[in-house]
Structure 1
Amino acid sequence: MISAFAIEKNFCFVVVLAGCGSKEAKPSSTTSEKSDEKERIKISIGMLKLTPSAPIFIAMEKGFFEEENIEIDPQWFDAAQPVSVATAGNKVDVGATGLSASIYNMAALGQKMYIVADKGMEKKDYPATVIMVQKGSSIKSIKDLKGKKIGITQTGGTYHYLLGRALELNGLSLEDVTVTPLGAIGATMETLKSKQVDATLLSEPNVTKAINDGYGEALTPLGDELDSQNAAIFLSPQFYEKKEDAVRFMKAYIKACRYYYDAALKLENGKQIKGENFDEVVNIIAEYTGQPAENIEGALPYMDRDGKLFKDDIQTQIDFYLKNKLIEKEIDSKEITDMKLWEEALKQLDKEEK
């Protein structure tokens, strides 16, 4: 197993922004009258061109940020860890990315940032991440993974956490399997296809691709095993101190979460149904991610309708990583989470919409 020290060394790397400004926020055709009363501000957001950033894409396209008189400066990254490093270092105001051991190590080392809202969860009936096995495999349950070789992207990443927790909930541990970090999603797919691993973890649209290509079978959606906060919205130390600006950002974000949820995440008989604005939301995500709209339709992850953070899972993650020696120092999740800005934004937004 790779030590926490090896993960910590990555913090010394220079953060490189990838393709900054290649997609700009569009101004709203109709701006709230109240925006004239607010000082114009510019907020930089570090993120990846992935589906879980959907509420930010929606807020940019639908003018929800403009309604708060906010100009968005999108900063595009190619990987999750540099987003958190840039946010902690005040290189961007807001970070939107996945949760990992490296984030908690940064906090343990005294690098401040604040987790304030949801940006993607595992949830029952919403198959975001799936344990995949080879087609025709004898593995029929999580318990059958004992002694097997399982591919993940990186040590200390979201897939590592989800695998470990799912094993624990089924009476096993990471010690009962051979965990194989492969770096990239493409490598995990290729090693499953070539039968170099017995199982791997994938998210949509790659789950559907592996099945359609004839080499993979879904063992179980991890949302059926546990609820988990996979990704989150972070605020930099400097932006966190600008309370009024942060609340304005959060209001626009919550509004976009509601738009996304109502369009794509409502359930009927345990199945997601298409809302009134489904096609519009899919096309917005497709435009920003560069993925075909038909691939996006089956790959819409769960998010809380109000963007509420699943705060309890943050401490569960910290405890898991500490137990597995992926972080070296115990920290309290209260040191890096803050719900007050979200609560104030929700209060103001609900008052305005009455």
Structure 2
Amino acid sequence: MKKLVLSALCSVVLLMGALAGCNAFQKEENTTVELAEVTRSIFYAPLYVAMEQGFFEEENLNIELTTTWGGDKTMTSLLSDGADVALVGAETSIYVNAQEPAEPIINFAMLTQTDGTFLMAKEETDSFSWEDLEGTTFLGQRKGGMPQMTGEYVLKQNDIDPAADLNLIQNIDFANIANAYASGTGEYVQLFEPQATLFEQEGLGQIVASFGEESGALPYTVFMAKEGFINGDEDTALRFTRAIYKAQQWIYDASPEDIASTISPYFDDTPEEVIAESAVRYRDQESYAQTPVLPEEAWDNLQDIMEEAGELPEPSDYDEFVNTELAEKVMED
């Protein structure tokens, strides 16, 4: 009788263990995350690395990526539950949270930590000086956007008054800026990669300065979500952040050729050597964040630039709208 009882108890223990194992397995079942990216850019290379190197797959995450082409559209998608997570400039969360939405937008993983634009001069020079811009036509970015705010901030830091010292053009759509410059508009232009490298190779200009190096650390592009997603599905958010951290580590160790071959499926019309050169340019100036943690100093720098541009609706509290716990946990693990 005693043996029968012990046998029954063992069976119950084994069954409970099996059920627990099943529950653990179910928790790690493949989870779909709808991700909206504000644009398609080599500036976001670590995201594509995470997808192509299987880092999301290792976390049992299925990423459904949509390019929404614009900060307003990206935030609309997030607020209307068209996306679980958005990859967009941190300034957009400040704009939205100032309007007191039903759920605040929380920044939880930083992807890029500098501005991603470069200053291109139409005339080649061996000794560029910011004073060279005085009296010229400068083809800048859309007013109110982070590239424009950072660009004007850098000009002022170098004693150039954007309103008085040059002819600043800001009424051209983002998608048409490069074409306008190539067609002859402006002596200087502010461009992202790979367009800047392509123009250099085509003899249309020379990269003479980096706005990323000049402006300092910024939460330029951040993964963000509604508070309900972070609090209600913390395990998914944690696994997502871990995949991004793996990609950030990978991209700083990989060769230019490996980076280019990995992310080339996302840039069909761009030669791999241009992808490699562009990605390394960003990596060399540490535009790619090396961890997902968004530091308070970078958050403050962002708000200083927005305030300087007259675009800060109100101060945004770091402790309220930035979550570093997920990033810190994956780094500890």
TM-score of the aligned structures, taking structure 2 as reference length = 0.78
Aligned residue in 1 for 2:249:
258
TM-aligned CA deviation for residue 157 of structure 1: 1.5
CA contact (8 A) 1:192 1:216 kept: no
When residues 310 and 199 of structure 1 are mapped into structure 2, their CA distance, relative to the original with a 3 A threshold, is farther
Question: 1:68-127 CA distances to partner (integer Å, 9 max, x unpaired)?
Answer: 222222223233432233224432111112344x4422121123211122222338xxxx
Q: C-alpha distance in 1, partners of 2:319/2:167?
A: 33
Q: C-alpha distance in 2, partners of 1:310/1:203?
A: 24
SS at match of 2:163: helix
Does residue 64 of structure 2 align to residue 73 of structure 1? Answer: yes
Where structure 2 has 5 or more consecutive residues not aligned to the other structure, the ranges are 1-23
- 250-259 or 214-223: bigger deviation: 214-223
CA contact (8 A) 1:204 1:298 kept: no
Residues matched between the structures, number: 297
- 165-174 or 339-348: bigger deviation: 165-174
Question: 1:219-246 CA distances to partner (integer Å, 9 max, x unpaired)?
Answer: 2122332324321211233211122221
- Which structure's residues are more often helix, by fraction? 2
- 138-147 or 72-81: bigger deviation: 138-147
Residue type at the aligned position of 2:114: E
Does residue 41 of structure 2 align to residue 62 of structure 1? Answer: no
Aligned residue in 2 for 1:328:
313
| Residue of 286, 298, 308 corresponding to 1:313 | 298
Q: C-alpha distance in 2, partners of 1:51/1:283?
A: 12
Question: 1:199-256 CA distances to partner (integer Å, 9 max, x unpaired)?
Answer: 2111222112222333322221223323243212112332111222211111111111
Aligned residue in 1 for 2:264:
286
SS at match of 1:119: strand
When residues 173 and 138 of structure 1 are mapped into structure 2, their CA distance, relative to the original with a 3 A threshold, is farther
Does residue 287 of structure 2 align to residue 298 of structure 1? Answer: no
TM-aligned CA deviation for residue 310 of structure 1: 4.5
Aligned residue in 1 for 2:237:
246
| Residue of 48, 73, 85 corresponding to 1:82 | 73
Q: C-alpha distance in 1, partners of 2:131/2:294?
A: 30
CA contact (8 A) 1:132 1:200 kept: yes
When residues 71 and 316 of structure 1 are mapped into structure 2, their CA distance, relative to the original with a 3 A threshold, is same
Q: C-alpha distance in 2, partners of 1:108/1:46?
A: 21
For 1:174-189, what aligned pairs fall within 5 Å after superposition? 174-176=162-164, 177-185=166-174, 187-189=176-178
| Residue of 319, 323, 326 corresponding to 1:338 | 323
CA contact (8 A) 1:164 1:174 kept: yes
For 1:89-104, what aligned pairs fall within 5 Å after superposition? 89-100=80-91, 102-104=92-94
TM-aligned CA deviation for residue 299 of structure 1: 1.0
Which one has the largest radius of gyration? 2
CA contact (8 A) 1:43 1:73 kept: yes
TM-aligned CA deviation for residue 166 of structure 1: 1.1
TM-aligned CA deviation for residue 194 of structure 1: 4.1
CA contact (8 A) 2:259 2:276 kept: no
Residue type at the aligned position of 1:346: M
CA contact (8 A) 2:32 2:62 kept: yes
| Residue of 98, 105, 108 corresponding to 1:116 | 108
| Residue of 35, 40, 51 corresponding to 1:49 | 40
Question: 1:266-314 CA distances to partner (integer Å, 9 max, x unpaired)?
Answer: xxxxxxxx3xxx4333122110232331220111133123233344222
Aligned residue in 2 for 1:209:
198
CA contact (8 A) 1:130 1:218 kept: yes
Percent identity over the alignment is 20
TM-aligned CA deviation for residue 346 of structure 1: 1.6
| Residue of 158, 165, 170 corresponding to 2:146 | 158
Q: C-alpha distance in 1, partners of 2:187/2:123?
A: 10
Q: C-alpha distance in 2, partners of 1:335/1:143?
A: 41
Q: C-alpha distance in 1, partners of 2:234/2:306?
A: 31
Q: C-alpha distance in 1, partners of 2:276/2:266?
A: 14
TM-aligned CA deviation for residue 46 of structure 1: 0.9
Where structure 1 has 5 or more consecutive residues not aligned to the other structure, the ranges are 1-34, 264-273, 349-354
CA contact (8 A) 1:36 1:69 kept: no
TM-score of the aligned structures, taking structure 1 as reference length = 0.74
